Structure 1
Amino acid sequence: MLQDKRILLILTGGIAAYKGLDLIRRLRERGAAVTPVLTRAAEQFVTPLSVSALAGEKVYRDLFNLTDEAEMGHIQLSRSADLILVAPATADIMAKMAHGRADDLASTLLLATDTSVMVAPAMNVRMWDHPATQRNLAQIKSDGVSVVGPNKGDMACGEHGPGRMSEPMEIVAAVEAYFGLRPLSGKRVLVTSGPTHEPIDPVRYIANRSSGAQGAALGQALADLGAHVVFVTGPAVVPPPIGVEVVAVQTAQEMKGAVNAALPVDAAVFAAAVADWRVEGASAQKLKKVAGDMPKLQFTENPDILAEVAQMDQGRPGLVVGFAAETDDVVAHATAKRARKECDWIVANDVSPETGIMGGTENAVILITDHGADPWPSMSKTDVATQLAARISDALT
């Protein structure tokens, strides 16, 4: 997707510099040529040798290096790329960019270039929230710099909040979007979302606390990557994504019908919190309260939509992703669910009331694949969606 694109990657000093190694690998996998520049502070976290080995290119480090200047002067280096990417972008480099300082190779390249610049900030939450950083952020944005992230989550310093550098695949997606590349163009993806309402009578129903926020965020993230998204949603609290094909349903049986009608698809993501049971023979009239007489409700099992799609003999999507909302032994239960349903991935989370995840704005998920369990830090549901969409794109392309 990035064939023959030339990326000048500037790594600055922060613990997130280790993600830069994976970022180089991901960019090169997609055909990009990566020329790395390290600040002196970055060398405290990653070595020039490891960066050079992954990039397959010489690492540039010094502003005053006669050999480097003879081979490629810093002015030429700053203008020979299709995009300059700063990841991680510390508070220091952002301040230099905002004020036009040029006291090392990285800042000089950024000041001398006429190439577009993209930054992925990474810093302590207090540094990110500081008025000076926010002023600098506003300034570089007004100068035309693209900004990716940061995410919200746990910090290496032990604090929590915005300031985590975006994940490598999120940055890759932003780079592809910059070049007008939408990696999921031509792909058809099904996403289910929200709760289902199972009627007891015309005015009462069985439901759950799902808001549909995570499914809606995921549908939007996949659409932003170019996918044609069929978004099958129960009666959610949040509005559906923009630019997707919306199919509204109420019950699990209606959702099953809508899912079957949407097939075939390249990938199916089942984020909906489908009710496990429904009332058999729901009353056509409102049940009247009679003192001392409780209504007799007979329950029957709802269809297992995830398992039915994952176990299809013909026309099975290339990737089937389920969600597992658990309150205890999250990894064990979700791993067992993945095996039982025969889906490819399970996105598991702890929805115990004290977590505030169900109906809240944040999520802390564990992605379970055939490689095992990969716990993600707590972050906004939008960030979870962006990261998961990038992983889905990586699997489909």
Structure 2
Amino acid sequence: MHRLTNRHILLGITGGIAAYKSAELTRLLKKAGADVRIVMTPAATEFITPLTLQALSGHPVHLHLLDPEAEAGMGHIELAKWADLILIAPASADFIARCAAGMGNDLLTTLCLATTAPVCLAPAMNQAMWRDPHTQSNIGSLTATGMKVFGPDSGEQACGDTGPGRMLEPQALAELIAAEFEYLALSGKTVFITAGPTREPLDPVRFISNHSSGKMGYALAQAAIDAGARVKLISGPVNLTAPERVECIQVETAEEMLTASLEGINSCDLFIGAAAVADYRPVAVAEHKIKKGNEEIMELRLVKNPDIIASVAALSQRPFTVGFAAETHDLLSYARSKLERKKLDLIIANDVSVPGIGFNSDDNRVTLVSASGEVPLPQTSKRLLARQLIEHIAQHFNQQMAANEKTTG
């Protein structure tokens, strides 16, 4: 079920007594980490209210083909692009017939025509309707186009008949939907990532900072999402848009970043400190803008900032902790020293003195340093490098988790 983390599931509900099971199905999909949007046919609203499903999914229920609330009034296109998978549960005989005929006379059939996502059907109807040759022909036509059919189950029906036609139970449907997605290396895990610079104010208009663009941290957040993780991104001031499906916390100073990093840390499985955190901050921040005087030299008194990555690694029940070492010389010796001093699990070392990589660039090359050795990763885009890093980090993380389970087991 962890495979559903961050997945976009569009649940279509048609008219039938089994619609009451869609409430429990929605709850199970949400519990497994999916984002669920619901589309109902007019007949479905006679069996269960949109308000119930809105409360369970956390989103307004979609009912109409042409939605004045949607961008450009084209809600069906937006939903079709949004979905990772469409599940129709229950799928009535009428809906199956209209879908097999290629009709688009309501929102749900139109979505099935407009989407490139997989479409799955969970039939629910009287046993005689299921056995009818027309229904069987329609099911054959839909499966020939690539649609998947889950069920139906056999047993006692609401009308009193016994036989095939019952919709599969919500738990079974949720498991079948999860199985449609490939297992991902960080499925169901919670990852915290810090990114970008911090700003330490001198006065209301000036601050101490650095050249970090945040691109590496943001790329890691996207790669972790793609690997199935829930991601909290704690970002300093950058000109970047947070990836979809990421909880992004905006901060300015190192102290604010530490506070945000420790909030909810007990739920964190893996912490990646990619931010370039200022080592020092001014002892005092001037209330008003500091005016230029006649002196040739101005002295600033600075105090050390909290060490965020070391603070996380020092926790009694700490997450798997990964740091960064941005150096201008003696890269690997400094990186290994930092790994040992701060008791990190891994450290990612990059030489920011090399032109064209590191700060503010779109490319980077790094060396992944662990207690057991070093893995150099050649220069490539930060987007591709982030994927490689997440694969390596996930491998080390999962190996450690397996070792811990073996020890405690």
Normalising by structure 2, report the TM-score: 0.52
Q: Are 1:267 and 2:270 an aligned pair?
A: yes
Provide the secondary structure at the position in 2 that maps to 1:253.
Answer: helix
- Code of the residue aligned with 1:304 in structure 2: it is D
The answer as to whether partners of 1:221 and 1:386 remain within 8 angstroms in 2 is: yes
- Given candidates 233, 239, 245, the residue that maps to 1:231 is 233
2:381 alignment counterpart: 380
Alignment of 1:32-71 (within 5 A): none
Cα offset, 1:178, TM superposition: 8.2
Instruction: Provide the C-alpha distance between the structure 2 equivalents of 1:217 and 1:381, rounded to a whole number of angstroms.
Output: 6
Contact 1:194 1:210 in 2 (8 A): yes
Work out whether residues 185 and 226 of structure 1, in 8 Å CA contact, stay in contact via their aligned partners in 2: yes
| Residues 223 and 244 in structure 1, CA contact (< 8 A), matched pair in contact too | yes
Structure 1 pair 182–372 and aligned structure 2 pair: CA distance change class (3 A): closer
Structure 2: gaps spanning 5 or more residues: 2-177, 399-409
* Matched residue, 1:212: 214
Shift of 1:198: 0.5
Counterparts in 2 of 1:236 and 1:178: CA distance versus 1, 3 Å:
farther
Question: Which among 265, 282, 285 is matched to residue 285 of structure 2?
Answer: 282
Aligned to 2:200: 198
Question: Equivalents in 2 of 1:178, 1:194: separation in Å?
Answer: 36
- C-alpha distance in 1 between matches for 2:185 and 2:372: 24
Give the CA deviation at 1:373. Answer: 1.6
Question: 2:186, 2:374 → 1: CA distance?
Answer: 25
The count of corresponding residues between Structure 1 and Structure 2 is: 224
Residues in 1 aligned to 2:185 and 2:369: alpha-carbon distance in whole angstroms: 23
Q: Deviations 1:96-124 (Å, cap 9, x if unpaired)?
A: xxxxxxxxxxxxxxxxxxxxxxxxxxxxx
Distance in 1 (alpha carbons) for counterparts of 2:360 and 2:342: 25
Residue 187 of structure 2 corresponds to: 185
What is the 5 A alignment of 1:10-49? none
- Note the 1:239-318 alignment, pairs <5 A: 239-264=241-266, 265-292=268-295, 294-312=297-315, 314-317=316-319
Contact 2:185 2:391 survives alignment (8 Å): no
- C-alpha contact 2:356 2:363 (8 A) present in aligned 1: no
Deviation at 1:234?
Answer: 0.3
Unpaired runs of 5+ residues, structure 1, are 2-175
* Distance verdict in 2 for CA 1:359–1:296, change over 3 Å: same
* Distance in 2 separating the partners of 1:261 and 1:361: 31
What secondary structure is seen at the aligned counterpart in 2 of 1:331? Answer: helix
Identity of aligned residues (%): 43
d(CA) in 1 for partners of 2:375, 2:397: 19
Please report how far the alpha carbon of residue 182 of structure 1 lies from its aligned counterpart in structure 2 after TM superposition: 3.1
Q: Deviations over 1:236-278 (max 9, x none)?
A: 2322222111110000000000011030210000000000000
Taking the aligned partners of 2:235 and 2:386, their CA distance within structure 1 comes to 16
Shift, 1:355, TM fit: 4.4
* Separation of aligned partners in 1, 2:188 and 2:181: 17
Find out whether 1:338 has 2:305 as its counterpart: no
Contact 1:232 1:248 (8 Å CA) reproduced: yes
8 A contact 1:230–1:262 mirrored in 2? no
Describe the superposition over 1:269-320 as per-residue Cα deviations: whole angstroms up to 9, x where unpaired. 00000000001111111101112264432100000111111122x2211x10
SS for the counterpart of 1:394 is: helix
2:246, 2:190 → 1: CA distance?
11
Matched residues in 2 for 1:225 and 1:301: separation?
36
Per-residue CA deviation, residues 352-381 of structure 1 (Å, 9 max, x unaligned), is 053442110111100000112211111110
Judged with a 3 Å threshold, the aligned counterparts in structure 2 of structure 1 residues 182 and 353 are, in CA distance, closer, same or farther, namely closer
Q: How does 1:350-361 map to 2 (within 5 A)?
A: 350-352=351-353, 354-361=355-362
1:181 Cα deviation (Å)? 2.6
Higher Cα Rg, which structure: 2
Question: d(CA) in 2 for partners of 1:271 and 1:258?
Answer: 14
AA aligned to 1:226 is G
Letter paired with 2:288: Q
Corresponding position of 2:101: none
